[in-house]
Amino acid sequence: MTVLHIIEFPDPRLRLRAEPVRVFDAALRQFVADMFETMYAANGVGLAATQVAVSQRVLVADMSDARNQPLALINPQILEKTGSQVYQEGCLSFPGIFADVTRAMTVKVKAHDVDGEEVVMEFEGPLAVCIQHEMDHLEGKVFVDYLSPLKRTMLLKRMEKQRKQAASA
């Protein structure tokens, strides 16, 4: 397996809408395995293909403490959203930045697994937040888009300051 390079905001590739996966083959399975390897190496709980500069509708997630509940969704679509929750989100493409975002409490999602089989799953709580966050990436949307302009500007300035400090260290 390979650890892929995670692109960081403001890379314009994060704003691209991902293309549907049409071929379910060994190359896709390898890419999904590499995405899991990358997410675990970065200590993340979710990763979208667009974050590794691949414009395909693929996401992976694993919010388990033991890192033993890997979930891969190909071409995911939200069928239903219910409820509301505020959750502090972070993002591997925004290192060190966290903000409260309001999202649905429960989502019902239709997707394909790595073998091309259609699945319908329901997620709630933090995992529902994670799935919505990663699906946003596939649409070219990032979590700071949900913030007020002032809050977004403050967080992005903080991120830029952290980058400059890291570069000079």
* Contact (Cβ atoms closer than 8 angstroms) between residue 107 and residue 123: yes
**Annotation marks residue 134 as catalytic:** yes
Instruction: Say how many Å lie between the first and final Cα of the chain, rounded.
Output: 31
* Contact (Cβ atoms closer than 8 angstroms) between residue 151 and residue 143: no
Given the residues 117, 118, 134, 160, select the one marked as catalytic.
Answer: 134
Rounded Cα–Cα distance for residues 158 and 14 (Å): 19
* Contact (Cβ atoms closer than 8 angstroms) between residue 72 and residue 60: yes
Which residues lie closer than 8 Å to 151 by C-beta, 6 or more apart?
99
Q: Give me the active site residues, please.
A: 134
